Amino acid sequence: MKLLIVESPSKAKTIEKYLNNEYKVVASIGHIRDLPKSNKDAIDIEGGFIPRYIISPGKESVVAGIKALVKKSDTVLLATDPDREGEAISWHVAETCGIKKPKRVLFYEITEKAVQEAVAHPRELDSNLRKAQEARRVLDRLVGYDLSGLVWKKVRYGLSAGRVQSPALHILALREKEIQSFVPVTYYVITALCLTAKKETLVFTCVKQPGEKKEAQEILALAKEKDWEIVDVTATEALRRPYAPFTTSTLQQAGSSRLGMSPSRTMRAAQKLYEKGSITYMRTDSISLSETALPSIIAAVKKEFGEQYVNVRHYKTKSKNAQEAHEAIRPTDPSKKSAGITEDEKKLYALIRTRTLASQMSDAKILRTKIIANATDRALPNFSLSGSQLLFAGWLALDTAARGDDVEIPAVKVNDPLTLKNIDSEEKQTEPPNRYTEAGLVKELEKRGIGRPSTYAAIVKTIQDRGYVEKVGKALQVTDTGLVVDDFLFQHFEDMVSETFTADMENKLDDIANGEREYEKTLRDFYTPFTKAVKSKDKIDKVTNMGDAPEGTVCPKCGSAMVIKLARNGKFFSCSRFPECDGALTSEGKVVEPPKETGEACPKCKDGKLITREGKFGTFVACSNFPKCKFIKKDDNALPSTDVTCPTCKKGKMTERKGRFGIFYSCSDYPDCKNAIKAKPTGALCPLCGSLMMEGTKTIPDRCSNKTCVNHNPHKLEKK
């Protein structure tokens, strides 16, 4: 038997078909091994930064299945994704499943020709690529645990810091501080509405923007006294060249700005399109197109627009660190106008196809016209009007969203008279720089060399998940928590959050991948000074104050001045005499009532007292020693309980709870037992796996609560 192993189940059937069922194709379903969640003994630092991997929880059956197939096979090929992470997955599969002399195949598109060509030319596993990925994983684990532990102790429990997320946060924090410190400047915009001799309307804007109202009024008064005319007319033809094909970064930027999709959402849709064979591999920083792909792209342009719209172009990747796929993201079949199942997939495919075809189309020709008006004696500042007209659409005939609006301008000549009908001034103020959007941040990360194609989406998502950044409209706004964490890291680990340090480390990882740098030496050169720096900060004072409260803010209890402090849900005002006085105000100025003691001792830690706290879903009773003790008193009357016994601990009852995504059911013995399901349990057990069955809806019958069970999705079961 011949066996081919991929990492995604959705690829397996298609690839098996392309290989004429000569190979049995199975999936590892992503990574099968990882570092244990606990940092203790996860990495043998003294032994040379050797990671101690474990089989990922829930992957035991996958590993057992692959092992059984490997024993029956005389040929085993590893065909995971064509990047460092894919190389690492292949190595883990080979190591864990006992594959002797493993062979690796690479294809950048899931098409019959590409798959068959790859299988015909297997290679050895690339240990350098695997080591580079391993170095990144180990490095991020060591930095994350050490830095996060310090932030927990010195800022607030539950926060985190990371090697790449911290520089990304710093970029946003610097912009936020720039916005906060911005002092607006007043200026005046003067517009004049004029008529030509043919009664055509022209609206001019004064080139000079006065900073004083008096100056603006003087211009208005003088303008009304004067005769006006056309001073200058400049018409120039300009060319607009098409954009290069998509890289991972530019795809995420366009997905955000054009489609309103977050980078992670864009990458999910792109992954599905790749797995279906609709596009080439979506993690790349190359803008080149393969010579084999160009003829079909050009043919599609000719068919849709004609010969005059074709302009063959060869794009060269400028980044010296481009190390992922060998070409840009493109459709595998350019003649196919639509692909994908979901709306996200369909819209993203259309965007990728448009960008690819447009990259091989003619320049757009635009006529840009600028008219200058003034008084006949030139006593005024110049007034200008600009417009543009599309002479030849070129690539804009396809990518209409990039065109913009034409501004038609009547034909006028120098010295043509103008009649001033109205002139007015509007007071305005300069505005602070805009906050970064997700697309803007990805562009900035790429520009500064922070992260690589496979990490951009994860970076943007992580800083939002951590509560350091909030998405307000399309903009990323740093929260109070994010600002405090950034200040702490910048004050004590300035090198760690600097773009030069992070970019330099990325270059060193690239050197490992290219076989030009040693794994252990690279990690030791970094970790030795880093761990010393972390230990040296152990004695610094805890960050409690964020500065003085606004003037006039006084303690509601003793009348003393107040300071700003950080709470789990943002900042609040605390009495400067704390702990002698526990007076506090919310950031909106409301009095914060201290937790009330119930008079009961904590049954778990024995030292703490039970107090009433206010939470996201109302009041609850918990230990005063939180977060050291996480005891929460159960209020059985407050939570609707079912009669269904928890199958995990066999003691508690499945109880209705409310979470951030709505109602769910979990064991009443939480947090000792963390069993939870999405819908109300029926009390019956699944006949296939023995897990609890959940109540269905009008369209979906009762189903298994176990996501990995076929009975979790009744529609799939019916097909089987």
The CA–CA distances, whole Å, from 519 to 82, 193, 228, 421, 516 equal: 21, 69, 74, 75, 10
The size of the chain, in residues, is: 720
d(CA 89, CA 219): 71
Question: What residues does 563 pair with on adjacent strands?
Answer: 548, 574
d(CA 543, CA 488): 8
Contact 450, 164 (CB under 8 A): yes
According to the 3-state scheme, what is the secondary structure of 561-628?
Answer: EEEEEEECCEEEEEECCCCCCCCEEECCCCECCCCEEEEEECCCCCCCEEEEEEECCEEEEEECCCCC
Angle between helices 480-492 and 127-154 (to 10 degrees): 110
Which helix (H) or strand (E) segment is 642 a member of?
strand 641-645
DSSP class of residue 273 equals: H
Residue written as tokens 């003649």?
A: 335
d(CA 438, CA 172): 11
d(CA 108, CA 319): 20
d(CA 224, CA 420): 7
Q: Which long-range contacts (CB under 8 A, 24 or more apart) does 384-388 make?
A: 384/204, 384/205, 384/207, 385/202, 385/203, 385/204, 385/205, 385/409
Let me know if 435 is exposed, middle or buried by CB neighbors in 10 A (0-12, 13-18, 19+).
buried
Short-list 585, 586, 595, CA closest to 558: 585
Which helix (H) or strand (E) segment is 472 a member of?
strand 469-472
d(CA 380, CA 291): 59
> Of residues 281, 436, 527, 665, which has the active-site annotation?
281
d(CA 97, CA 81): 19
- Under 8 Å CB-to-CB from 362, ≥6 apart: which residues? 308, 309, 310, 311, 392, 394, 395
Let me know if 37 is exposed, middle or buried by CB neighbors in 10 A (0-12, 13-18, 19+).
exposed
d(CA 505, CA 391): 49
Q: How far is CA 254 from the centre of its chain?
A: 13
Whether 519 is a known active-site residue: answer no
Q: What are phi and psi of 635, to 5 degrees?
A: -110, 90
DSSP class of residue 407 equals: B
Q: What are phi and psi of 254, to 5 degrees?
A: -70, -35
d(CA 301, CA 334): 9
Residue 354: CB atoms within 10 A of its CB come to 20
The counts of H helices and E strands in the chain are 18, 31
Question: Which residues are identified as catalytic?
Answer: 281
